[in-house]
Amino acid sequence: MHPAANLLLLAALVAATPALAKSSDRQQPMDISADSTDAVMEDNGMSVLTGNVSIRQGTLEVNADRAEVHRVAGDIQRIVLTGAPARLKQVSDAGEAMEAEARQVTYTLSEDTMLLSGAVQVRQPRGTLSGETVRYDVGTGRLNGGGDGQRVNMRILPKTAATN
């Protein structure tokens, strides 16, 4: 994999999930692997990693079939992960594991949002959320689901069940 592709993904994914992330994860090395990469060295363009994309940094684990990094004027604008499904796992500072999966995860840096679409599943100790479309505000931690004509399903566990 080309070093520039590593740096692009590193910069983008480190900032991707601060509300869910273990704060020490950002200080850990990031390991990225894929079957192949196609990267441009210009300020405008898209770099693509394909085939068994794996990203590890501290407690963050990302697995996808494909990762696209879109840049404009040298800045990363958007990252798109796709898979059957794309999967994300991370542990919070409170020690709670979060797992999410969707056919596509789009992280837009300027809006600090993630859009998960296609058979979305989010699992945390206190419950689950599923639907076709879920928006996640990285800064506030707010999840918004639905609005796409499909139902959103949630299961909220009692506090005592989540700690057992």
Q: How many residues does the chain have?
A: 164
In this predicted structure, what is the pLDDT of residue 14? 38
Q: Write down the H helix ranges in the chain.
A: 3-14, 159-163
pLDDT digits 0-9 by tens, 54-93: 888 888 888 999 999 888 888 878 889 999 999 988 887 7
In this predicted structure, what is the pLDDT of residue 161? 63
In this predicted structure, what is the pLDDT of residue 16? 43
pLDDT digits 0-9 by tens, 100-159: 999 999 988 888 888 999 999 989 888 898 999 999 887 777 888 888 888 888 888 887
Average pLDDT score over residue span 31-48: 86
Whole-model pTM? 0.77
Q: How far apart are CA 8 and CA 27, in angstroms?
A: 16
In this predicted structure, what is the pLDDT of residue 26? 64
CA 120-57-95 angle, to 5 degrees, is 70
Pick the CATH number of 3-163 from 3.30.1490.20, 3.30.70.260, 2.60.450.10, 1.10.3720.10: 2.60.450.10
In this predicted structure, what is the pLDDT of residue 23? 67
Delimit the domains of the chain by residue range: 3-163
Task: Say if CB 92 and CB 21 are below 8 A apart.
Answer: yes
